[in-house]
Amino acid sequence: MRVLERYRSFDRPVRLLLLNQLTINLGFYMLIPYLADHLSAGLGLSVLMVGLILGVRNFSQQGMFLVGGSLADRFGYKPMIVAGCALRTIGFALIGLVDAVSALVIASAMTGFAGALFNPAVRAYIARDAGERRVEAFALFSIFYQAGILIGPVAGLLLTGIDFTLTCLVAAAVFAVLTVLQVRALPARRGDSDAGEERRPLLRQWRDVAATRGFLPFAVAMIGTYVLSYQIYLALPLHARTLLGSGDSATALVTGIYVVSGAVTIASQMKVTAWCRMRWGPARSLSRGLLVLGAAFVPMLAADSLLLVWPDIGPGPATVAGIVALLLTAALLAVGTAVVLPFEMDTIVALSRDRLVATHYGFYNTVCGVGILLGNAGTGWAVDLARSAGLAPIPWAVLVVLGVLCAAALASLYRRGLLTVAKDADAPAADDPPTVRLSAIDGYGPADDGAPTRPLPAVGAGTTEAARIRTSTGARR
């Protein structure tokens, strides 16, 4: 009920976009988990062709986020959201109706590029309309996002049991309804950047975004968040099939992993966000959230180490220990993501200074997408190598260390002031207060001992913009 109350407290556009994200994930995840099986078993394509089609979809989304974000800043958020939903409608319908490889590649690319169009635009739109409540809005966003992931595969399983083409057409219909809904009900919005900035050549925009103080180091440090959290789609399912083989029991365990992850996020997100804001503040929440994500793999490390230390434990107890470890790791990954995500999204906006926000989101997602590609490739290689060498715990230990290193890197950036937004260096007016440094991820200037500084004086006629931001962020704590 508390989630519904928070949801209703936002204006209509934010509420619509939250429902939009739930429905986007519902339509996407009712189809995508079953696509590889349809391509290989249903159409008889080779593993190479299946990998090509799925890879095109992933690249056209992750690799084009930057383009999608730039287009959203240039033409407005609503046109990109509408275009993305419409494009995915066509792409999903084609996947269900065609069987030629060339047509499937085009359809797959369309569905991926659709995500690159609407994802940065949706996040920038929510950040703009939520204003000072954007951390809370992104916490709700995480709940709706996970709800779609939780419901989508179940709906897809039921539909695919009838016919995969039906699944595709229903998913396409979901996006068609979304397209019409956005056209009719979503108000037009664009960022606060001036028109000249939005009309500059894209390469110059991207160069300026990359040069934003603290932004690129923050994006690189946060790659670990995505590499660690994405193991729920890679390393954990692979390990489930190692434990139980390739039968129905393994499929049920993989489904259980996703159910646990989604349920934990939905049940805990708002409480976790409120607790972190009150006890840690956003800066510490980000670094400690990364520690939680790294620590999530300790159960896997312990379970596999048990087999090395106690090889005569027997297959039954070892399998039970492995299953418990898998589910516990999924739950801890969900908690770590719940800690990080709202403050991560808020930090991107703060570092951008409300300039070209969608482009910053697109750039950030592109950097993290490259990190995911390399991280997943490295994880898969490490898991195979470790198994063949009889050292199964090693990949989990590496992931734990990755979380610790990224948390340390993020904390270092904060201490060095690279994640601090300073007042513009123009001459202050006589009645202006002294220049203030604003934490982009805390809303406070850090004291030497890490404690928050005293609040600034009340906002008055001569208060600078920096002081206004500082006072408002302090007040909402």
Residue 314 has pLDDT above 70, yes or no: no
CA distance 312 to 318: 10
Residue 93 — very low, low, confident or very high, per pLDDT cuts 50/70/90? very high
Which CATH superfamily does the domain covering 204-417 fall into?
Answer: MFS general substrate transporter like domains (1.20.1250.20)
Q: Indicate whether 452 pLDDT > 60.
A: no
**pLDDT of 445 strictly over 50:** no
Least confident of 167-171, 269-273, 419-423: 419-423
> Measuring CA to CA, how many Å separate 351 from each of 128, 218, 287?
14, 9, 17
Would you say the CATH fold of 204-417 matches that of 1-191? yes
| DSSP per position, 173-197 | HHHHHHHHHHHHHPPP---SS-HHH
Q: What is the mean pLDDT of residues 327-335?
A: 93
Q: Please report, for the chain, the start and end positions of each structural domain, with discontinuous segments joined by +.
A: 1-191, 204-417, 419-477
Residue 137 has pLDDT above 60, yes or no: yes
Give the three-class secondary structure for 419. coil
In three-state secondary structure terms, 463 is coil
265-293 pLDDT, tens digit each: 888 888 999 899 888 877 788 889 999 99
Backbone torsion region of residue 76, taken as left when φ is above 0, otherwise alpha when ψ lies between -120 and 50, otherwise beta = left
Question: What mean pLDDT is predicted for residues 206-222?
Answer: 88
CATH class of 1-191: mainly alpha
From the list 329, 163, 137, the residue with the least C-alpha distance to 234 is: 329
pLDDT per position as a tens digit, 224-256: 898 898 888 778 887 887 888 766 787 788 888
